[in-house]
Amino acid sequence: TPATKAAVGFLANAGALDLDGLRIDCQTSFATITATSLDGQPLRRAQRILITSVGRAENTAQGFWPPTEQQLRWTPVAWMLPGEGRPPVIAEPIQATVRLDVAGPAAVYSLDSTGKRQARLNVAGDSGTVQFNPAQADSIWCEVVVED
């Protein structure tokens, strides 16, 4: 949609993707990268944009048991979860170049799980684009803020 763009799958194999204003060149094998306008405007006019970058993730100390032969006949993904683990969730950093068309000069911040801004990321770009690597955030969430 004009206010949300997303790519999901084996993005490293897909090569560079152009989603009409969101360009992704991902090096992480499997990933989901989503850009969502936080003010309801189309991404190109939005003042605040949430970027979510997720790959493999699991709880700390989470465990898996491989399926038995009989379970494999039922379903090829019958792995057992004997230990659900505990917080925090360990998430694979998504190595990618994310380039977003924006309404002016912009800053990018990593966000914590409550949405609070953390560190400001190093970005490249000009007054109409912002480019960054989401792995720099040490978070699955980033906020792009167009500066007035």
pLDDT tens-digit map of 108-141: 999 999 999 999 999 998 889 999 999 999 999 9
Please tell me the distance from the alpha carbon of residue 6 to that of residue 52, in angstroms, as a whole number: 9
Q: How does the average pLDDT of the chain come out, rounded? A: 90
CA atoms within 13 A on the CB side of 92: 14
The pair of structure tokens assigned to 144 is: 């792009």
CA 108 to chain centroid, in Å, comes to 13
pLDDT at 77: 61
**Nearest residue to 133 via CA among 11, 51, 12:** 51
| Top-confidence residue, 105 or 63 | 105
| Top-confidence residue, 8 or 91 | 8
In this structure, which amino acid lies at residue 56? R
Confidence of residue 76 (pLDDT cuts 50, 70, 90): low
User: Is the C-alpha dihedral spanning 47, 48, 53, 54 positive or negative?
Assistant: negative
User: What pTM did the predictor assign?
Assistant: 0.84
pLDDT at 78: 60
Please tell me the distance from the alpha carbon of residue 26 to that of residue 11, in angstroms, as a whole number: 6
